[in-house]
Amino acid sequence: MPAKVGLQSVLDHAVAGERVTPEEALELYRNAPLHALGQAADAIRRRRYAGIEHIATYIIERNINYTNVCVTACKFCAFYAPPKSDKGWTRDLDDILRRCAETVQLGGTQIMFQGGHHPDFGVEYYEKHFAAIKKQFPQLVIHSLGASEVEHMAKVSGVSVEEAIRRIHAAGLDSFAGAGAELLPERPRKAIAPLKESGERWLEIMEMAHRLGVESTSTMLMGTGETNAERIEHLRMIRDVQDRTGGFRAFIPYTYQPENNHLRGQTQATIFEYLRMIAIARIFLDNVAHIQGSWLTVGKEAGQLSLHYGADDLGSVMLEENVVSSAGAKHRSNLMELIHLIRTAERVPAQRTTTYEHLVVHDDPANDPVDKHVVSHLSSTAIEGGTAHPELKLIDAE
């Protein structure tokens, strides 16, 4: 009983605006009653968003996977193909531009441009593609890549990481998607991604980007065998950088998917562990504005529950996604369903921009969208039925 009283005191202090230490966060994550944890996280969310606390956001976007060729060979990944493999592929620029056109036509505002660490793709490749996208579709935000891709492209081109960031930003990159964070502490990172840069280096590159005016999100991959203490250490590492730069717009934990990869599902995170992480992130990351629920990996019901555990955003109608889907994430949704999930969580849905401004607030159900074309995975190599709608008349990419 005294331990629970002590944990409640920590929660009460957090709700009042006091900072939680890593040691306290670990104790809360391990031992705080789930309901009390969620209550505190939701109270902190409501305080942060006083006046608009009734709103939960979503975005319409597309993850254009431009290649699956990769030299990194992460053990949790079911998407990549080694160089020279007959399973490798790369999309040409015309194909990419057609996908951008379809995104605009379906009301999408954001492109995530992600693929493998292709041995031949340096800074020049990304400059060419980002510039072409921005020229034809200036309304699309390019929220893409992460520190790992930047480190790789800089090596391929023989330039500094700083130069690589400056050049792709000038070509059209708006912000980094926080890709490649996985797990930042040394032991679990080496266990699942031994060929990637260290977690410290990932953060150094993100900090450099923030100082160059390129903001980002931050992520965490849960369930590959990391300890609870390593999960909290991951949060601490992010919070320390955020104290210096303020450049992380959001934190997005998601769960490891066990199909078609070397880990073979030996360890996985439960829904309860995921919800506890959403709550702890809201409580501990007091300097990160947005916490996003990941219905794509945990399912729509758990994603909806995350809105009661501190999340203020339910992610996206992801028009295309191949990476986590290749590893077994088969959850699909559509715009009308996502709005329904938010509303039945007793929140008012709002479509947002990449920087979280509200584009459309769905405050009257009578005016909700009815477009059945706006579905997740309308184009996917990993989910059956995920093919582009033939009835859409795409804008000519020429």
CATH number at residue 287: 3.20.20.70
Confidence check: pLDDT of 331 > 90 = no
pLDDT of residue 397: 39
Query: Is residue 393 a part of any domain in this protein?
Result: no
| Domain with 60 in it | 54-367
Confidence check: pLDDT of 267 > 60 = no
Lowest mean pLDDT among 169-178, 262-271, 333-342: 262-271
What backbone torsions phi and psi does residue 180 show, to the nearest 5 degrees?
Answer: 85, 0
pLDDT of residue 262: 53
Average pLDDT value over all residues in the chain: 86
- What's the predicted TM-score (pTM) here? 0.88
Query: Of 142, 291, 298, 113, which is closest to residue 219 (Cα–Cα)?
Result: 291
Q: What gap in Å lies between CA 247 and CA 221, rounded to an integer? A: 20
More confident residue, 66 or 348: 348
Query: Is residue 33 a part of any domain in this protein?
Result: no
pLDDT of residue 328: 39
Query: Is residue 122 a part of any domain in this protein?
Result: yes
pLDDT of residue 326: 41
Kind of pairing between the strands at 110-114 and 141-146: parallel
pLDDT of residue 175: 97
Q: What is the pLDDT of residues 11-68, one digit of tens each?
A: 999 999 999 999 999 999 999 999 999 999 999 999 999 999 999 999 999 988 888 8
More confident residue, 234 or 296: 234
Q: Percent of the chain having pLDDT more than 90? A: 61
Query: Is residue 2 a part of any domain in this protein?
Result: no
Query: Is residue 381 a part of any domain in this protein?
Result: no
Q: What gap in Å lies between CA 319 and CA 162, rounded to an integer? A: 32
Confidence check: pLDDT of 330 > 90 = no
Query: Is residue 47 a part of any domain in this protein?
Result: no
**What is the rounded average pLDDT of the residues 323-347?**
69
Query: Is residue 27 a part of any domain in this protein?
Result: no
More confident residue, 385 or 179: 179
More confident residue, 317 or 236: 236
**What is the rounded average pLDDT of the residues 158-170?**
98
Query: Is residue 39 a part of any domain in this protein?
Result: no
Q: What is the pLDDT of residues 52-93, one digit of tens each?
A: 999 999 999 998 888 888 877 666 566 667 777 888 878 899
| Tally of domains within the chain | 1
Beta-carbon contacts of 317 under 8 Å, excluding residues fewer than 6 positions away, are 58, 59, 60, 61, 333, 334, 335, 338, 374, 375, 376
- Measured N-to-C along each axis, helices 34-48 and 271-284 cross at an angle, to the nearest 10 degrees, of 40
